[in-house]
Amino acid sequence: MVKINPLNNNIFSKKIDDSFNIFYIFGNNFGLIDICYSKLKENLKIDLDDPFTTNYFDEDKLLNNTESFFDELNSICLFQDKKTIIVDIRQSNKLHEVIKILDDLNFSEIKNIQVIIVSYLLKQSDFITKQIMNSKNSICFTCYEEDEHNVKNNLNKELIKLNLNLNNSQLNELTDKFSKDSKIIQNTFEKIRLQNRNSNINFDQLLHLVDDNNDKTIFEMINKLMTGNYYESIKLLTNFERVNISSSSILYLIKSKFTLLKKCIKMKKRGFTKNEIVNDKSLKIFFKEHSFIFKMLELWTLNDIDNCLHFLFKTELNCKSKKDYEYIFLNQLFLYVYFRIKN
């Protein structure tokens, strides 16, 4: 197994070694996941339109055609050395059911087939991740948020290319406002390039273009939404719409946070203190999430959460049936959550 951080590796600069046939892309940097997936397909010369060499499974196809999926894994491609099977579960509403299928695979035993698994929602601690990492024939692309140092260096390089000179204080202020999502960072750079092409851009205009992107992860957006910061959460949601983050990923993570919060509230009702709740190992709450959970425990009741989950379920159905309007439905959900908190 080779574990790679795509931010710090030039693996795509040359053809990937044929000894690797299992490719796993995951993490919380959704933009980087998309970029990595696109570059991997290009590197492996995958043609999604060729049904003889490539078979694409999203969540629905995998769950509805599980037998076909396993048949494909055991098939032999007559037209080239390796057939490719893609499992794209970036947009997932039934992740646990998908994982049950994938957990049955012995990745070390898969030969003569290339398998690509790409997900926004799978984590390092998941069983499937450990399975793949134990396979010598795999490459795992760990796509985590860009750290501030990396963002600052890339921003500085970009500004130098554009002959824009900032002092260190200005550079730090601009860096603080940047997203940690790679796709949003790339889009922001593109906005700066376009603006600078039309007219020489100044520092205040740069600040306006970056638009205070400090907390641009879905997790941060959900925390703002569920602690009553509606306007900030909507601002972040608008940014995700610009870069085409799928509604299903957002809805899944909101549902997960509500489910976690229900467990926390039930523990509170049983007499546990706030600190005991957030430090309970079974809940796996990150330290930086503690303050948000503390506030949510003051704002939410089990009844309000159940009402929101019911509304969320209807939102999922609407987003699936009317894909072009998914962000309208998400906006309606955010407004509903806000009013549940305020009432």
Give residue 5's pLDDT band: very low, low, confident or very high (50, 70, 90).
confident
Better-predicted residue by pLDDT, 288 or 172:
172
Helices 182-198 and 203-210, packing angle to 10 deg: 140
The pLDDT, as a whole number, for residue 78 is 57
Identify whether the C-beta of residue 268 lies closer than 8 Å to the C-beta of residue 249: no
Mean per-residue pLDDT, 199-213: 73
**Calpha distance 71→197 (Å, rounded):** 53
Confidence bin at 84 (pLDDT 50/70/90): very high
Element (H, E) at 197: helix 182-198
Calculate the average pLDDT of the chain. Answer: 87
Answer yes or no: is pLDDT of 212 > 60.
no
For residue 9, pLDDT beyond 60: yes
Fold annotation for 218-342? Zinc Finger, Delta Prime; domain 3 (1.20.272)
Query: How far apart, in Å, are the Cα atoms of 231 and each of 238, 261, 264, 327, 334?
Result: 11, 22, 26, 15, 10
Place of tokens 């489910």: 259
Mean pLDDT of 203-220: 70
- The string of pLDDT tens digits covering residues 217-227 is 788 899 999 99
**pLDDT score recorded for residue 214:** 45
* Position with higher pLDDT, 208 vs 96: 96
Q: Which two tokens stand for residue 290?
A: 């503690």
DSSP secondary structure letter of residue 15: P
Phi and psi angles of residue 58, each rounded to the nearest 5 degrees, phi first: -90, -175
Residue 183, pLDDT above cutoff 60:
yes
3-state secondary structure of 118: strand
How far is 124 from 119, CA to CA, in rounded Å? 12
Range in 25-34, 201-210, 232-241 with the lowest mean pLDDT: 201-210
In terms of Cα–Cα distance, which of 299, 309, 329, 324 is closest to 229? 299
Domain definitions of the chain by residue range: 2-142, 148-210, 218-342
What is the band of 132 on the pLDDT scale with cuts at 50, 70, 90? very high
Query: Between 202 and 54, where is the model more confident?
Result: 54
- Which segments of the chain are extended strands (E)? 2-4, 22-26, 54-58, 83-88, 113-118, 138-142
CB atoms within 10 A of CB 82: 15
pLDDT at 216: 54
| Residues 204-233, mean pLDDT to the nearest whole number | 80
pLDDT value of position 81:
58
Q: Which CATH code is given to the segment(s) 2-142?
A: 3.40.50.300
pLDDT the model gives residue 226? 97
The pTM score is 0.65
Residues 67, 71, 75: CA angle, nearest 5 degrees: 170
DSSP state of 107: G
The CA-atom distances, in angstroms, between 166 and each of 41, 157, 172 are 38, 12, 10
3-state secondary structure of 24: strand
The structure tokens 């999922």 sit at: 316
- Give the least confident one: 14-18, 260-264, 284-288: 284-288
Q: What is the pLDDT of residue 31?
A: 83
Pairing relationship of beta strands 83-88 and 54-58 according to DSSP bridges: parallel
CA distances from 334 to 86, 230, 256, 309 (A): 33, 7, 15, 12
pLDDT tens-digit map of 38-52: 999 999 999 888 888
